Chains A and B, each alone.
Chain A
Amino acid sequence: MKDTRVIELDEVAIRFSGDSGDGMQLTGTLFSDASALFGNDISTFPDYPSEIRAPQGTVGGVSGFQVQFGKKQINTPGDYAHVLIAMNPAAVKANAKFMKPGGTIIYDSDTFNEKNLAKANFATDDPFAECKLNDYFKIPVPITNLTKESLKDFGLDNKSVLRSKNMFALGLVCWMFNRPMDYIEEYINTKFGKKPVVAESNIKVLHDGFNYGMTMQHMTPTYLVHPANIESGIYRNINGNHATAWGFLAAAEKSGLELFLGSYPITPATEILQALSERKDLGVKTFQAEDEIAGITSAIGAAFAGDLAITTTSGPGLALKSEAIGLAVMAELPLVVVNVQRGGPSTGLPTKTEQSDLLQALYGRNGESPVVVLAASTPSDCFWYAFMASKIALERMVPAILLTDGFLGNGSEPWRIPKMEDLPSITPRIAKNSETFKPYERDKATLAREWAIPGMAGFEHLIGGLEKNKMGSVSHDPDNHQINCEIREEKVKRVVDLVPDLEVNGDDDGDVLIVGWGGTYGHLISAVRELRLEGKNVSLAHFNYIKPLPANSAEIFANFKKIIVCELNLGQFASYLRDKMPQFTYYQLNKLKGLPFTVNEIKESVYKLLEE
């Protein structure tokens, strides 16, 4: 038996894993929050099945939550986990491939019986050997029995007792990583405020888990991860979906408009609808429509009637909304459409992440139907891009599509809270002069029309999906149609003056430029950082504005010998760049596994490119 080990690390990734009913998402979230409060930088990644409760004990039913925390900047939840908490054999099987060589596996030895091994389809009684985990540090802990023992005096039924197993694991992990547990206790007390017995029992189990670790020092390694050195300010943890919702609240307040959300629940976007439904205190109008189409068309109606109108969805929902997006293009109404991308096509992989809706967002409509397309790149900057999408839509009278993804939406990170006064202003183009008002008269510089809202006397007019002339009357005139198609395209192009220049992470010139967009930022920047530490001449250009592209894009590309476009699809952004900037050669790194990149696979592809 090994001695107690104290391991000092810059960063550690832990994966909590068990049956989808084992409470692993909550355990992971509580641990992450406690770590952030302790002062670590963190990044999280929930990985769960689409079935709410798949058969117990099977690999398909395993729900995982990975968090990486450290004393330096953390941009990803970690490619591989240093520590795995496995509540049953299926969790070991499902997660073996995510383990760092030589890592630690803590498992509930009570569940490693013949029945559960069979459910997880293990052929032998040594699951670790089968998964080639022999060289790992394994710590069997009889979590089930210890939890039962811990709660024997509470008079709880067996089901309630077993439900507290996750708190034992959490307490144990808190001890391993020196986490203070005040935050977790506070959470439990608030959540079960009305059921003091449940609160008390959970806290008891939590402490017993912590104390078990302390007592069993001889077998458990402890890790020291010091607080990170981060910019001063007020921080909170936020996931991408909440940040998106709150970005719209900020835009509504800044523009002086009421916020209307028409939406239909769809994984992984539903949380935005939920987060805004909670905000009646801020006057948000949320409308859970009968389908995706009514979600967007009600929002278009609200845009016509003067609200900051948005609709939120994921891939299949964006497909259903296509015709209505075309209407917003034609009527020239301010509208923001959020697509929290997931694996496709069709129902695809609802709970997994992907970036394969880019071309759908850009082109997936009938007719020439240009819209502004933006993409958020971290959980917390979803706030900023939701805000900017609203600003562009309102100031340019144009629909904007904001792309996030399941990884950003569910993933969380600490966020330095901005002040409203520091955000840019938003000035909706409310029409002022009824004498001169024409529905499709345009600003000379931006080509944006004015917004006259029902209820404004003297501004009565009609808009619609038919091609029209300046007055808004239907026009089948051939020249008029061509001119209008060109104007609508040009109007989107001119949004470029609101788009900041593309930045380069690393040197402004060099051997390889990694190009990415949206939710892959954390992995790409981590890879670039490591490659540069190894002395490689590699930089990153990461896009948040897709249509229009930042004005200096070509200028930056020209300074690199090779360009590799990394994305979680078969090359959609690469083909868009080939269309817009054909003078460059684009190498590609593409992944379609429903999972984020790993830092390693990005580095490998760059090594290969450097050798060629």
Chain B
Amino acid sequence: MNTSDYVVSLNAPARPNGSGAAAILSAGVGSFALAVLAFAGDKSALIASSLVFYKPTGSLSGVTTVAILIWLFTWGILEWRWRSRTVAAGRIIAAALALLGLSLLLTFPPIVDLF
């Protein structure tokens, strides 16, 4: 083994990136689901009332419970599909960060009030 081979083997990832990409994308999807549900509940009294899972907490209970279920379900599916694969992480992570950014915007009341 020459020196360049040695350097390459040291820097080569020991694990495929699929599992990490699955966790990252699903976190973005879960955050976005939460923001969309919060937005929908704010705009529609019918949706808000259907999201009341625990009355003292109001629609916040349904928004967060459904979002967490969507997040975990997405994570489970993606982990199952990607765990032993190397995926195009750049695009997946860009999508996850875009979803996270949109989520932060969609929960900000002055932006919600624009619609």
Report whether chain A binds chain B: no
